Amino acid sequence: MSDCNLYQDKDADWRLRVFDALSFPTLILKPDRTILAANAKFYERNQTWAGEIIGRTCEEIFPHARSMQKPSCRGPECPLHRVLRHGNTQSVVHKVLDHDGEEVWEERVFSPIFGDRGEVKYVIESLRDITKVKNLEKKYSDVRQLIDKVVQSSVSGILAADRKGEIILMNKAAEELFGYTVHDANLINIEDFYPPGVAREIMRKLRDENIGEKGKLPSTQVNIITKTGEEIPVEMTAAIIYEGGKEAATAAIFNDLREKQLVQKKLEEAESQLFQSEKLASLGRLSAGVAHEINNPLTSILLYGNLMKEKLASDHPLASNLNYILEDAERCKEIVKNLLAYSRQTRPSKDVFFLNNLVGESLRLIRDQKLFMNVKIVKELDDCQIMINADKNQLCQVLINLIINAFDAMEGSGTLTLKTYRDRGAGRAYIEVTDTGGGIPQENLSKVFDPFFTTKEVGKGTGLGLSMAYGIMEENHGRISIKETGPQGTTILLELPEEPAGNEYHFMAIG
Ligand SMILES: Nc1ncnc2c1ncn2[C@@H]1O[C@H](COP(=O)(O)OP(=O)(O)OP(=O)(O)O)[C@@H](O)[C@H]1O
Ligand SMILES: [Mg+2]
């Protein structure tokens, strides 16, 4: 049957009507690429007629000038060629210019029409304008890309998991927070990101309509577990993602709380230190006034008392009473001396010296060597020579006070450890005084730096040692704090600014 038989066949009539009724422009091509027929929609859309189309090749009627992409009519890329070769439907998508010069996306679908022997006899090509679909696809992909960028650039960690708890989304901040890459995370379950039972508890709260809106968990503080097993406090909000009313996934946003908590702690410390400084300053002024007032009458008591003692025979019945008066007056003198030292407003006279030398010197200056008898002294001094620019005499006084407190706490036997070290990055130098005494009871912790607070028996302590140490450390831009205390002993920490290495010449000059 010749090619024209398609039209001469008496049964072909209704098929041609169907062909013309197709809403897509459609062509029937012969294997040699020439056009056998075109439907009404094709003529209408291309504003052409059969005489210009029939018998010509598709390459001729679709000049490449119209196509905005490289033509693919030659060789194995040609869809007609592929239909002839594989015997199945093939398609290509082109961006072309329509008759008004507008860019449109066109999909050309090529399907085989088989002959009696199963060979591809003709190929039917239909052209579909898919510009709307393509534009929607582009919009969708632009929105997706934007959402991806928003998620990835978020400073909060964002995680999403499917119903089985498998991770389906993890942004950069979450990778940094949890220490997993998104690839590692694929291998583990969301439950492993929390301490045991926490993930289930979060899901329970998410589903509970009495806690926030259903499927939403308001900001909550939880601990998460990183890849290295570290527990980190975070603030978290979470939501269930529903699809068609069913739970499809959960998503959560995390913010690391470590820095916030650190700042909070520092703020509280600074506030309590300020309070302590103000309290000590006003007590200092009060003590100075009292000490001055008592000093003059006390000097008279001692002067006249000693004169009487010289005149009184040693076996006089009042001699022992006079001795008691003089001993107690001496003790008062000592207290007044300490009070004046505590409240004096002198500026420290600063020198540059090695921190380790301060430790040795303070130990040598302790007069009452009996104290050392049953106490083991351990020195853990930093190998590097740490330089300090401060009032050495004042710091010796602080260290001696701490060492005597430690001896008192150990009641004659134990171990006293003196340790020096530094934090080079922070430019700080440290001395720790550790004893194996009974520790400071919790209820006394806030009072030990107060002047006159003592737990020692009358005559043994005035309660001025730690408050003086506090004032001296402040004057020297340092700090004193109780690092640790308990039934095993106490560690008092002194912290000072380290002198930068470049300032050695000054040290050499005075050393
Ligand atoms: N290392 C320590 N172990 C246990 N308690 C201590 C220690 N250091 C200080 N304390 C407690 O703090 C109180 C105050 O100490 P602080 O040095 O100010 O005064 P003091 O030692 O009692 O008297 P002073 O130092 O004036 O002779 C002490 O009485 C004691 O209760
Ligand atoms: Mg003391």
Q: Looking at residue 73, what is its pLDDT?
A: 63
Which architecture does CATH list for 5-129? Answer: 2-Layer Sandwich (3.30)
| Residue carrying the six token digits 């991770």 | 167
User: Could you read off the pLDDT of 109-167 as tens digits, one per residue?
Assistant: 999 999 999 999 999 999 999 999 999 999 999 999 999 999 999 999 999 999 999 99
- Of the listed ligands, the closest to the CA of 433 is 1
Range 259-345 classified under CATH 1.10.287: yes
Q: How far is the CA of 493 from the centre of ligand 1 (A)?
A: 15
Identify the residue whose C-alpha is closest to ligand 1 atom 6.
440
Check whether 68 has a pLDDT greater than 60: no
pLDDT band at 9; cut points 50, 70, 90:
low
- Among residues 18, 22, 24, which one has the least CA distance to residue 129? 24
Alpha helices (H) in 368-497, listed in sequence order: 392-410, 465-475
Q: In the chain, where does the domain assigned CATH 3.30.565.10 lie?
A: 348-510
Identify the residue whose C-alpha is closest to ligand 1 atom 20.
463
Report the distance separating Cα 279 and Cα 223, nearest Å: 39
Q: Which residues contact 44 (CB under 8 A, 6 or more apart)?
A: 25
Q: How far is the CA of 406 from the centre of ligand 1 (A)?
A: 8
Q: In the chain, where does the domain assigned CATH 1.10.287 lie?
A: 259-345
Q: How far is the CA of 393 from the centre of ligand 2 (A)?
A: 17
Identify the residue whose C-alpha is closest to ligand 1 atom 31.
455
Check whether 2 has a pLDDT greater than 50: no
The amino acid present at 484, given as its one-letter code, is E
Q: Mean pLDDT, to the nearest integer, of 67-80? A: 66
Q: How far is the CA of 183 from the centre of ligand 1 (A)?
A: 58
User: Could you read off the pLDDT of 159-171 as tens digits, one per residue?
Assistant: 999 999 999 999 9
Q: Return the ligand 1 atom nearest residue 435 CA.
A: 1
% of the chain residues with pLDDT over 70: 90
Q: Looking at residue 377, what is its pLDDT?
A: 93
User: Could you read off the pLDDT of 475-491 as tens digits, one per residue?
Assistant: 899 999 999 999 999 99
Q: Looking at residue 340, what is its pLDDT?
A: 74
Q: How far is the CA of 275 from the centre of ligand 2 (A)?
A: 22
Q: Which of 342, 448, 460, 468 has the most ligand 1 atoms within 8 A of CB, as the residue to mutate? A: 448
Q: Looking at residue 70, what is its pLDDT?
A: 52
Residues with CB under 6 A from ligand 1: 401, 405-406, 409, 435, 437, 439-440, 448, 453-456, 461-467, 490
Identify the residue whose C-alpha is closest to ligand 1 atom 27.
461
Q: Looking at residue 511, what is its pLDDT?
A: 31
Q: Looking at residue 346, what is its pLDDT?
A: 53
Name the CATH topology of 154-256. Beta-Lactamase (3.30.450)
Q: Which of 343, 399, 405, 450 has the most ligand 1 atoms within 8 A of CB, as the residue to mutate? A: 405
Q: Looking at residue 420, what is its pLDDT?
A: 97
Decide: pTM greater than 0.85.
Answer: no
Q: What do you get for the CA distance between the two ends of the chain, in Å?
A: 120
- Of the listed ligands, the closest to the CA of 414 is 1
Q: In the chain, where does the domain assigned CATH 3.30.450.20 lie?
A: 5-129, 154-256
Report the distance separating Cα 193 and Cα 188, nearest Å: 9
pLDDT band at 507; cut points 50, 70, 90:
very low
Residue 496 CB burial class (10 angstroms; 0-12, 13-18, ≥19):
buried
Q: How far is the CA of 390 from the centre of ligand 1 (A)?
A: 24
pLDDT band at 471; cut points 50, 70, 90:
confident
Check whether 69 has a pLDDT greater than 60: no
Q: How far is the CA of 405 from the centre of ligand 1 (A)?
A: 5
Q: Looking at residue 386, what is its pLDDT?
A: 92
pLDDT band at 10; cut points 50, 70, 90:
low
Q: How far is the CA of 308 from the centre of ligand 2 (A)?
A: 34
Q: Looking at residue 3, what is its pLDDT?
A: 46
Q: How far is the CA of 401 from the centre of ligand 2 (A)?
A: 5
Q: Mean pLDDT, to the nearest integer, of 193-199? A: 93
**Are 67 and 96 in contact, with CB atoms under 8 Å apart?**
yes
Check whether 502 has a pLDDT greater than 70: no
- Among residues 97, 89, 93, which one has the least CA distance to residue 107? 93
Mean pLDDT taken over the chain: 86
Q: Specify the range with the lowest mean pLDDT, choosing from 122-126, 249-253, 438-442, 460-464.
A: 460-464
Q: Looking at residue 344, what is its pLDDT?
A: 60
| Residue carrying the six token digits 């040609």 | 78
Identify the residue whose C-alpha is closest to ligand 1 atom 12.
448
Which architecture does CATH list for 348-510? Answer: 2-Layer Sandwich (3.30)
- Of the listed ligands, the closest to the CA of 406 is 1
Q: Return the ligand 1 atom nearest residue 466 CA.
A: 18
- Of the listed ligands, the closest to the CA of 470 is 1
Check whether 416 has a pLDDT greater than 60: yes
Q: What is the DSSP track for 156-224?
A: SEEEEEETT-BEEEE-HHHHHHH---HHHHTTSBGGGGSSTTHHHHHHHHHH-TTSSSTTEEEEEEEEE
Identify the residue whose C-alpha is closest to ligand 1 atom 1.
406
Identify the residue whose C-alpha is closest to ligand 1 atom 19.
463
Identify the residue whose C-alpha is closest to ligand 1 atom 29.
454
Identify the residue whose C-alpha is closest to ligand 1 atom 7.
405
User: Could you read off the pLDDT of 239-276 as tens digits, one per residue?
Assistant: 999 998 899 999 999 999 999 999 999 888 888 777 77
Report the distance separating Cα 265 and Cα 39, nearest Å: 82
User: Could you read off the pLDDT of 296-320 as tens digits, one per residue?
Assistant: 889 889 999 999 999 998 889 999 9
Q: Looking at residue 268, what is its pLDDT?
A: 87
Check whether 506 has a pLDDT greater than 60: no
% of the chain residues with pLDDT over 90: 53
pLDDT band at 11; cut points 50, 70, 90:
low
User: Could you read off the pLDDT of 332-385 as tens digits, one per residue?
Assistant: 887 787 777 666 645 677 889 999 999 988 888 776 667 777 899 999 999 888
